[in-house]
Every structure is written in structure tokens, then in C-alpha cells.
Structure 1
């Protein structure tokens, strides 16, 4: 009789548990997304329905009893509910488990994890730099037919993100146009927030968000309207949205721009902001036969930061990442070379100070390629462009059809890149692999540490 009563109680209680679970799930909009994982800290992100609260629990793998808890709440008056969490006081080279609970009014501890992350190894002064790889790409267009341009959808096969979620990589670096604002988004703050939230919530991307750490820079389409720069009247709102939907280490200085540095192993990536200070593209490059000092892409504040960062860096590979291409003399489209005062200032600085290990990375172009520009008294400079993830592709044509500066090129295909850093100290190697939607290899290019040094 007692056993029957217990069974009846369980059956009566089961719908309540199901209701709680379904309700909590309904309050989760997207995520979790993993951000930077350092030696003793990690950042994670989720978005919930405004008015919800979220618990973040984390613990050393296999030691659930020691779980730490962080609670955050959102206001019902908010338009959107992105939340960022910090896991702190961690141990290097250790795997941790974590779980989120939404509206956990009963203070129920988790019984299992949502995912895991592993802190960096403290290798400095102890052993050679570790081999590692990261993923990268740009131009991620998720279709929304009611507000998209008529005709053939601009967004391609989004299953590329499911393929990328299966890759083993230290992190993913998003190189701009990470979502595409449309006409319904450009002119008001709600539209900018909504575009970021809608893109982040795409079901096809959810596994990818927690499969590895994510960093990002922006270009025009996730900053505002196509090709816009310093004159965008909502750029402060765009920066606020960007800071709420990504987990970069920092976002410029003096509340300007989103430039920062990613350091991993013996690689530094200097993330440039090519929009905040950018002059209109149709401003003249020269005036009276002289370079126009008013035409800029990066701005003095950011260039001063870049110069000091390059001088300070001891990294084997120093990657300067920018939304627009930097080199590519054959391109008829926007590039740093179109801002000649800034371009020659930076190039002169690199040569005057004999900065080794410098490469450029970019997105934007809806094709992938490696551009090589020789220098008379220094090692060649390379610009690695990787695009698009899902946005429309195009065919090499015009002055770029047989670009003499192109080392390798991939057009008419969605693709992502994987950059691997391998080898013993003094003989490090960077290998760039290009992959298609289903993970098929489309091309490969590599450069050795020794190829990026000055002859002293």
C-alpha cells in the first residue's frame, strides 16, 4: 500500500517537473557561448527572456559537490537579455564542467553539465610554446525572408556551423560581418539589438557556440549600414550591442572603438577597428597630387596603440586583423592602401623598427585568398582573407581575375579557415587550411617563422 502511494506521488509530481523544465528552457533564447578561457578564468554568455534570472554553476570535472554559483537577473523592461558570466579562481590546464539554470527559484543544484572548458597551460618559462589551431571566417548571413531582399536568398548553407562545431580548435575568431543588419535595423537602436539577438539564436549555430571559445571583430554589416564609417549616427549603440554579444578581453580605449589583442601560445592577434574612425570610401585618396591626410581607416589613437603593441610583443607570429583588406594592390574595393597616409605610416614603422613575424588577416571580400606583397629590403607581407561563411559568393573578375599578388585563391564557395601553429622553438610554422561547408578541403598555404624575419 505504501509503495502504491509513493508511485502515485511520483506520477503526480512528474508533470510539475516537466512543466518546470519546459518553462526554464523556454526562457533561454540562445547559448551558452564560451568566451576567452585563460589560465585561471573563463567567460561564458547566454541570452534569456527579459525578466528572467540565470544561475551559472561551475566545478572541476568530476567534483560536482564543489560547484560555485553566480546569479544574474534581467529586467522585464529590457528589450533583450544577454548575460555574461565569469568563472574565476581556476587552476591552469584543468577541465571544468558548467551548467546554467534559468529561473531557479528553488535553488536546485545541477545534476549534470551543459558543457566543459579547459584552462590554458602555464607553459611560459617551463617548456616550448604549444602547438595549437584556431578557426576563422567572416560574412555570416542568416536569412530572414520577410525583411531580406527579394529573390534568391542571400544566405547560403548554414550547416557550415555544424561542421565547424566538430573541429578541434583552441578558439573561433569571427572576422567581421558576423551578422548582417538590414534596412529594418539601420535607423534605430532596437533594430541593432534585435539583429544581434536574432542571429545568435539561430538553431544551427547553438552547438558551435559552446564547442570552443569565441572572439570577434566587426566590419560594416555588423557595425551598421553597408560601407559606413565615422559618420554612422548610431555607432555608440552598435558598440554597446557588440560588447553585450561578444566576450573579447577589451574594447578600445576611452570608450572608442573595439580594438584589442588576443594572445594564445606564441601568437598575438591585434584586432583592428576599421569602422569607428573610417572616412567615407569616396573621399579622395590624394589632393593636389599629395596623399590626403584627412582620409583614414584606423585613426591616430588606434595606430599609436598598434605601434606600441607591436614593439611590446614577443610573439613569433604577430597577426594584424582587419575587416577590410590591408594590402592587395589589384583590388578595386576598399583597403588600407586607399588611405595612403596611414598605410605608408604603418609600413614605414614596420621597416624602421624591423618588426618580425607580421602578417595581416581580413574578411569582407566573399572570396578567400592569400595576397603577397614583396618589399625591397624586408621580408614579404601577406594578407590572409577568408570569406564567406554563409553570405553570397562571387567569381574572381576584372583586375583581380588573374591577380599577380595572389598566392592562392578560392572563389564561388562558402568556406572557413583553420590556422595551425606547429614546430619546435625557432622553427615554428603557420599552416592555413580552407574548408568547405561539409569540411572538404579546398586549399592550403603555409609560411615558416624564418620567412618572416629581417636579415640582420
Structure 2
């Protein structure tokens, strides 16, 4: 009888969720004493209540937070859980009006280790280029979107969070030109059933690239960029979104790693604008813009002064270093690129690694610079969008340490070890969890020495 009651309760919860939750709940930004829960609810729902309690103290009174919803077709809520304790698992329940919970999940806060122990080992997932097919609006012929079961594989990972590297959804012609279209695309893609367990399994952070910002290769001239930013903020739960109502860049810390999430579209000059003339670099051709670059430099200097940080991961939608890429790599914005590399050298910022998407293949690029340690660009792509084979120009790229083409994949990045022996390991993983290739680097090899 008890088993039957449990089954009926689970069945009722599932039915209520399907009826009222369009997508989610998704875990967003998580800190030591706070956590964020995002969800998209039916348009008639005006308020949502979330109750939460430490998982092993279920017999005690739960904390509660209520959030008013905006209503309408894109009726999303971002709920902030506060008053938590570090390193604890919390169970949360979602309620609409009176009656049973319509959703239940768990979230773990970050561990307070600073000045107490060595940094905990952890791992996170990352990837880019998620195309969900919608045949009546897609390009004719073979569907561009691939096997979305990759998200079921990712949901089973025991990772601490997921970092989406752009092209997280693909706007298309029917979306480009209207505010409604730019909201409808993420709402449609986010509601896919295969995604829901993954959204609930770990925290999610994101940046964007051209296809979830606007049209292909969209730049700062895209006329609906403000709506794109509104859509990004409505469907993600990052710690912040740019400054002065511009851009979506932000920063967060997980154990001994600082993450800098960049916006490579809001201030971006068109890729075809001339990069140099008569041997002079064009100062007006920028990918990130002065305000964002100034922020990044100051943030890196602040990070450098924190002795608890071993790695500094800079995430952006476009590749950064690839010297032979024919596509929109940062180094083709040569004035801004060279100035930033010079800053890293002169300020002696240790532990920098770039994390990028976009290319529909995965690879690790190494570039050696005079006056500093080698720089690495880890590219992870695609999750579900079309794959390709390395073309003739890039097939034998001497700057590539390893690469994965032809296959959908994501990356698992793990940080482990003690002190300056901390090691960052990258594994590129396929649809069923098969490991295609792995690579690692120690923090002590990303540092400045007296010889530099």
C-alpha cells in the first residue's frame, strides 16, 4: 500500500508539472549561501512559491520565497534562495497557489574552503552549438540538428555545473526581425523534454554567440540587440549581465578557478571591416570593446591578487588564438588582440586559459608567446548542431595539440590536486559517454618565471 501511494504521488507530481511548467526548473548561479532557480511557467500563473530546506533536516520548518510573474507567453521566474549554509545539499519544492508541489529538486552550495583546506577537486561540463530542429522553419534538405540524446548523457555526469559557450539556441529567418521571434526561439528550444533532467541536474551558466544573439555573424549593428539581451536575461540565471544595460559579460568563482564570461557580439565590429592599412592596425575594429576590455583587465588584476586562485578561464564565443583560422578568431581584430596579450605579459597574469565554441569541431590550440608561458584555447563544439571534417587548410594545423571532428561532443573539465600541483584536465566526450581524447596542464606551467 505504501508503494502504491508513493507511485501515485510521483505520478501526480509529474502530471502537475507537465500541466504548469513549460521548462525547468533549472539551477542557475550558486554561491556559498545563495542559489538561483529558474523556470518557465504557463502564462496564467501569476505567482510561484519555492520552499527549501537542508536535505538531511527535512523534519524542520522550511524557508520560503514568493515571486510574482510577469504573465504572458514568456512567463519566466528567477527565484533566489538565501540564508543557506556552505557545502550543503538543499531540497526545494515549487508550488502554485494551494495544493501539492508541482516540482521538486536539489541544489548544493559551494564549499567554504578558503584559508581552511586545500581547494576541493571539481569538474564542470561545457559545449556550444545546440540546434533543435523545427522542420517548417529550417533550411530544406537534411536536418541540421543532430542527436539530442547527448543531453541525457550529460545529465548523468557528476559535474558541479555546466557552462554553455554560445549558439545555445539557433535563431533563424523567422526569428531575426521581431521581438517576439527572439523570445519564441529560446522558449521553444528550452521546452524540449530531453533537456529537462539536464537543466535540473546541475547549475548552468552561459555566454552567447551570433546565433543566439541575432543572425549569422551578427555584430554591433544588429537592430534588435536590446531584445536579444532581454531574451538572454529572461532565459538564463547568470550572476550579472554587463554594465549600464549593455552586454552580457560577467564573472564567477568556483573553488580555485575564476571564470570570466565575455560578450563577443554587443560591441563587435563587422568581421569584414579592414584590420590594417599601410602596416597600421585599425583601432576601430574591436571584438569586445573598450568598456568590456577595461573591465576584464581590472578583473584579472583583482584575480591575480587572490592567492587562492590557480586558474583564470576566459570564455567567449569565438576562438581567440588560432593563427590559421579562416573564421572570426579574435586575433583577426589585431589591435585589440595584441593590446590584450601585451597586458597579460606586462601584468604577469598567471593561469590564463581560453575556452571557446562556435567551430563545430573541438580542439586545443597552443600558441607560444615571447615573454610569457604558452597560451591555450580549448574549443568545444558541437552539442547537437551539424558537424564537419577539418578542411584542408586546418587539417594539419601545427598549433593544434588535439582535435575532434565529425562527431557531436561536449567537454568535461576537471581540476584536481593540491597547491601549485593543481591540474586541469580536458576530456572530449561523445553521445554515449565515450571519451574521444584528453589533455591536461598543471597550474605551475601557466606561470611567469624569472627567465621571462
> TM-score scaled to structure 2, two decimals?
0.93
1:373 aligns with 2:363: no
Paired residue for 1:382? Answer: 376
String of CA shifts for 1:249-278, please: whole Å, max 9, x gaps. 111111111111121011011111000000
String of CA shifts for 1:346-403, please: whole Å, max 9, x gaps. 0000111111111111000000000000112221110000000000001101321100
Tell whether the 8 Å contact from 2:95 to 2:103 is kept in structure 1 after alignment. no
Paired residue for 1:31? Answer: 24
Tell whether the 8 Å contact from 1:173 to 1:216 is kept in structure 2 after alignment. yes
Q: How far 1:327 moved relative to its partner?
A: 0.5
String of CA shifts for 1:111-131, please: whole Å, max 9, x gaps. x97111111111011111111
Q: How far 1:19 moved relative to its partner?
A: 9.2
Paired residue for 1:3? Answer: none
Q: How far 1:70 moved relative to its partner?
A: 2.1
**SS of match in other structure, 1:168:** coil
**Cα distance in 2 between the residues matched to 1:178 and 1:287:** 36
RMSD over aligned CA atoms reads 1.8
Q: How far 1:64 moved relative to its partner?
A: 5.0
1:345 aligns with 2:339: yes
Paired residue for 2:65? Answer: 70
User: Could you say if the C-alpha distance between residues 21 and 297 of structure 1 is closer, same or farther in structure 2, counting changes exceeding 3 Å?
Assistant: closer
**Cα distance in 2 between the residues matched to 1:290 and 1:283:** 14
**SS of match in other structure, 2:397:** coil
Corresponding residue to 2:275 among 267, 279, 285: 285
Corresponding residue to 1:185 among 150, 154, 175: 175
Paired residue for 1:235? Answer: 225
Note the residue ranges of structure 2 that are not aligned, 5 or more in a row: 1-7
**Cα distance in 1 between the residues matched to 2:42 and 2:344:** 48
**Cα distance in 2 between the residues matched to 1:99 and 1:287:** 60
Q: How far 1:287 moved relative to its partner?
A: 2.0
**SS of match in other structure, 2:288:** coil
Paired residue for 2:3? Answer: none
User: Could you say if the C-alpha distance between residues 97 and 20 of structure 1 is closer, same or farther in structure 2, counting changes exceeding 3 Å?
Assistant: closer
Query: Which moves more between the two structures, 55-64 or 238-247?
Result: 55-64
User: Could you say if the C-alpha distance between residues 75 and 429 of structure 1 is closer, same or farther in structure 2, counting changes exceeding 3 Å?
Assistant: closer
1:212 aligns with 2:195: no
Corresponding residue to 2:446 among 431, 437, 452: 452
User: Could you say if the C-alpha distance between residues 436 and 351 of structure 1 is closer, same or farther in structure 2, counting changes exceeding 3 Å?
Assistant: same
Tell whether the 8 Å contact from 1:155 to 1:392 is kept in structure 2 after alignment. yes
Q: How far 1:37 moved relative to its partner?
A: 1.7
Q: How far 1:40 moved relative to its partner?
A: 0.6
Tell whether the 8 Å contact from 1:143 to 1:154 is kept in structure 2 after alignment. yes
User: Could you say if the C-alpha distance between residues 67 and 300 of structure 1 is closer, same or farther in structure 2, counting changes exceeding 3 Å?
Assistant: same
Tell whether the 8 Å contact from 2:365 to 2:400 is kept in structure 1 after alignment. yes
Tell whether the 8 Å contact from 1:24 to 1:101 is kept in structure 2 after alignment. no
> TM-score scaled to structure 1, two decimals?
0.93
User: Could you say if the C-alpha distance between residues 21 and 335 of structure 1 is closer, same or farther in structure 2, counting changes exceeding 3 Å?
Assistant: closer
Q: How far 1:21 moved relative to its partner?
A: 7.9
Q: How far 1:101 moved relative to its partner?
A: 2.1
Tell whether the 8 Å contact from 2:17 to 2:103 is kept in structure 1 after alignment. no
Radius of gyration: which is bigger? Answer: 1
Paired residue for 1:408? Answer: 402
1:150 aligns with 2:140: yes
Paired residue for 2:33? Answer: 40
User: Could you say if the C-alpha distance between residues 287 and 25 of structure 1 is closer, same or farther in structure 2, counting changes exceeding 3 Å?
Assistant: same
1:125 aligns with 2:120: no
Paired residue for 2:5? Answer: none
**Cα distance in 1 between the residues matched to 2:86 and 2:48:** 27
User: Could you say if the C-alpha distance between residues 353 and 22 of structure 1 is closer, same or farther in structure 2, counting changes exceeding 3 Å?
Assistant: closer
User: Could you say if the C-alpha distance between residues 446 and 75 of structure 1 is closer, same or farther in structure 2, counting changes exceeding 3 Å?
Assistant: closer
**Cα distance in 1 between the residues matched to 2:353 and 2:13:** 52
**Cα distance in 2 between the residues matched to 1:178 and 1:227:** 15
Which runs of structure 2 are paired with 1:12-411 in the superposition (5 Å)?
22=15, 25-52=18-45, 53-61=47-55, 62-76=57-71, 78-102=72-96, 104=97, 106=98, 108=99, 110=101, 114-313=104-303, 314=306, 315-411=309-405
Tell whether the 8 Å contact from 2:86 to 2:111 is kept in structure 1 after alignment. yes
**Cα distance in 2 between the residues matched to 1:64 and 1:55:** 19
**Cα distance in 1 between the residues matched to 2:260 and 2:158:** 23
Q: How far 1:321 moved relative to its partner?
A: 0.9
Q: How far 1:294 moved relative to its partner?
A: 1.1
Query: Which moves more between the two structures, 149-158 or 312-321?
Result: 312-321
**Cα distance in 1 between the residues matched to 2:406 and 2:198:** 24
Paired positions, count: 436
Note the residue ranges of structure 1 that are not aligned, 5 or more in a row: 1-14
